[in-house]
Structure 1
Amino acid sequence: MPRDKLASEKSMEIDGVLLINKPKGYTSHDMVAFIRRKFHVKKVGHCGTLDPIATGLLILVLGKATKIQDLLMSEDKVYRGRMRLGQITDTQDADGVILEERPVPQYSDAEIQEAFERFTGDFYQTPPMISAVKYKGIPLYKLARAGKNVERKPRIVHLYYYKILGRDSQHIDFEIGCSKGFYVRTYCHDIGLALGCGAHLVELTRLRSGNFTLDQAISWETLQALDSPSQLLQHVLPLPEVSRLRRR
């Protein structure tokens, strides 16, 4: 690329929303850092953390769109996941250390249904220690890494619906629609306690956030193959389009 065009590309302002299909093994911050570094976008933020174990829809806000970051984060979400019965971990997901193993009885469909029914509508969740929630200004995950366990205040969340998609002797596949601030890891942990055998999250995919859906998102492979800010811009939703989608 000619030097003058390269300079022009680096100074290009990109304002809008980028929908990414985040792959497993990366943090939301990894995606932000990649866009900032490769495409020289100074202002980048994400709207709702996805843990490394999770995949699916990650909303990034670029440039002037960072001003509506809080609005986009407040949207309801839809997830598809899988929980593993019989094991309790310190992170409430498969990335953690197994704290306890329990036998898994042959639950009936009615028993599984009853456990899920306990966590519908409005209810309280206690944020896990491995989370971005702050305690006296310090993120809980930093305290957890330092070996500290502090008291967390339960927060009210809302589950609009759930679907049990399938199950075997050790796993339950499900889909849920929930409010912002909902911890699917904690949801699996709590259902495991309700059943009596314990459980943790092993797979999670975000399918929707507000009116943005996973099928609108660019894949990680396609994103990596882009060479310039102008190519990235072709995949960015401009602010008027974002506003239209939010009102839909």
Structure 2
Amino acid sequence: MYGKEVNALDGILLIDKPVGLTSHDVVDYIRKRYMLKKVGHGGTLDPLASGLLIIMLNRATKLSQKIIALDKEYIAEMTLGFSTTTGDLGGQVVEKAKDDGYLKLAKYQIEQVFQKFVGEIEQIPPMYSAVKYKGVRLYKLARKGIEVPRDPRRVKVYNLVIEDIDLPRVKFKIRCSRGLYIRQLCIDIGRELGYPAHLSQMVRTTIGKFSLDSAHKLDKILNEPDSEKYIIPLDIARKLI
């Protein structure tokens, strides 16, 4: 494992977040586990998503902005046929396809549309997001049924590869810059194909040089008596960012 610093709890933990927990839930669990006041995470992962979540402890919380700015990679699944208020399976259905044409789309049609979203693109943040409007988080407004205008943001998609097509589902891998919402990407791709769509599954596999392969299950961190050994010391973490 990793060597200890003067303060072994100054560092980061790589957590494999399970489906069902918010990123803040994980922060709370870690804070209680190590009895710390300063704990943060390096980029929100939605409750219905799983995968790599970087948790920062004590002085490592100062690395927050650098970690959040790192590129990320996901394996995700888009499902055609209906869209929801949240863009994933956690919301209410707001639109259904008028016909079953989405089940008859050819592979080349789907591939052509996916390629349109590679490179620098503009994306309007979804209402269910942490983006602020006049100082208020959009998701707080969305929960009240309020929708406000949002300016498009320029984000980068470095790589977008379809891994499997089993209509109405399309599985893909994406590497992108910070600020890109995979939920919104699925909605936009579906719209380009002519059908409502939503994000049905998502796993975050990398953040910068950090990989899900090196992450630990949350239960393991919480229940092992010597789980401090999994903390990556601050000096090593700095070199990896």
- Give the TM-score normalised by structure 2: 0.93
Task: Report 1:1-248 matches (<5 A).
Answer: 14-102=9-97, 103=100, 104-227=102-225, 231-246=226-241
Deviations 1:62-107 (A, max 9, x none): 1000111100110000000111111111111111111111132411
Residue 226 of structure 1 deviates from its aligned partner by 2.5
- Give the TM-score normalised by structure 1: 0.91
Hey, what's the Cα distance between the residues in 2 that align with 1:17 and 1:130?
A: 28
Deviations 1:26-73 (A, max 9, x none): 000000011112220110011110001100000011100011110011
> Which residue number in structure 2 is paired with residue 3 of structure 1?
none
The runs of 5 or more residues in structure 1 that have no matched partner are 1-11
Hey, what's the Cα distance between the residues in 1 that align with 2:167 and 2:131?
A: 34
The runs of 5 or more residues in structure 2 that have no matched partner are 1-6
Alignment length (residue pairs):
232
Contact 2:8 2:231 in 1 (8 A): no
Hey, what's the Cα distance between the residues in 2 that align with 1:42 and 1:213?
A: 26
Write the letter of the residue equivalent to 1:114.
Q
Runs of 4+ in 1 over 4 A off after TM superposition: none
Residue 243 of structure 1 deviates from its aligned partner by 2.2
Residue 221 of structure 1 deviates from its aligned partner by 2.4
Hey, what's the Cα distance between the residues in 1 that align with 2:138 and 2:54?
A: 23
Contact 2:77 2:169 in 1 (8 A): yes
Deviations 1:121-157 (A, max 9, x none): 0011111111111111111111111221111111000
Hey, what's the Cα distance between the residues in 2 that align with 1:169 and 1:142?
A: 34
